[in-house]
Amino acid sequence: MLDERLHVYSALLRYRHRMPVRTTVVLLKRDADRRGLSGELEQRHPGGEIYNQFRYNVIRIWEQPVERILASGLTILPLAPIARVKRNRVPEVLVAVAKRLKREATPEQVRDLWGSTATLKGLRYADPEIEKVLRGVSAMVLGIRGIEESSVYQAILKKGIAEGFARGRVEGVRQALIRLGSKKFGPPPEQAIAQIKGVKGLNRLWALIDRLLDVATWDELLGPSD
């Protein structure tokens, strides 16, 4: 479960840095909140006695007022279209984001942050009307036009982004496993590195990270689980 995983990460960070850790979960769409995260994990003995408590923050972006997002730092602006805003106000929100980027951001930041805005917008609005508004704002406010408006290019880009995210997530978790394991067990032997690189699935990698606190050596970690 997510809250149990968060507990493990918090404990590992605290152990590594020797300082308090504040954990925050940011949910981007309602589907991610199916389990209704409470912000608190209680673990109990079979008799019902609580033996461990863990608290964390939960931020549901769709509950955040769009005005607060628009008044925040540049890196927060891409969240504006999926904040608490009515659909008929999305065009003006996109214009407001674009105007702030044009006024305050470097060309590189404009490209990256506007791309993030478009991607996050797609989590809630995928209809042609909003897409048309997005392209119009891109061209009129930011001066972004050309190949990015091609439907073929968009299809290729979306596929590439999805595949890149998948590869990046696996590699990121793999590196986290090696780094956290090294802090606890020392540098991994070549055989251990080869085993970790051979793990292709995210679920298996997460399971190995979850086991870090329960084992004492690389061999125990990468050996058969109980």
DSSP 158-217: HHHHHHHHHHHHHHHHHHHHHHHHHHHH-SPPHHHHHHHHT---HHHHHHHHHHGGG-SS
Q: What is the pLDDT at residue 154? A: 54
Point out the least confidently predicted range of 94-103, 149-158, 195-204. Answer: 149-158
Backbone angles phi, psi at 108, to 5 degrees: -65, -40
Look at residue 44 and give its three-state secondary structure.
Answer: strand
At residue 8, does pLDDT exceed 80? yes
Q: What is the pLDDT at residue 168? A: 63
The answer to whether 61 and 79 have CB atoms below 8 angstroms apart is: yes
List Cα–Cα distances, 47 to 41, 43, 44, 145, 154, in angstroms.
Answer: 17, 11, 8, 65, 56
List Cα–Cα distances, 28 to 38, 122, 178, 196, in angstroms.
Answer: 16, 11, 29, 30
Residue 126, both tokens: 């995928």
pLDDT in tens, 166-215: 566 778 788 888 888 888 888 999 999 999 999 888 888 888 888 887 88
Q: What is the pLDDT at residue 143? A: 76
Question: With pLDDT > 90 as the criterion, what percentage of the chain qualifies?
Answer: 34
Q: What is the pLDDT at residue 72? A: 94
Q: What percentage of the chain's residues is helix, strand, coil (to nearest 5)? A: 65, 10, 25
140 pLDDT band, cuts 50/70/90, is confident
Q: What is the pLDDT at residue 67? A: 96
Point out the least confidently predicted range of 23-32, 115-124, 169-178. Answer: 169-178
Task: Return the bridge partners of 44, or none.
Answer: 50
Q: What is the pLDDT at residue 26? A: 92
Residue 69, both tokens: 């997002």
Mean of pLDDT values over 27-47: 86
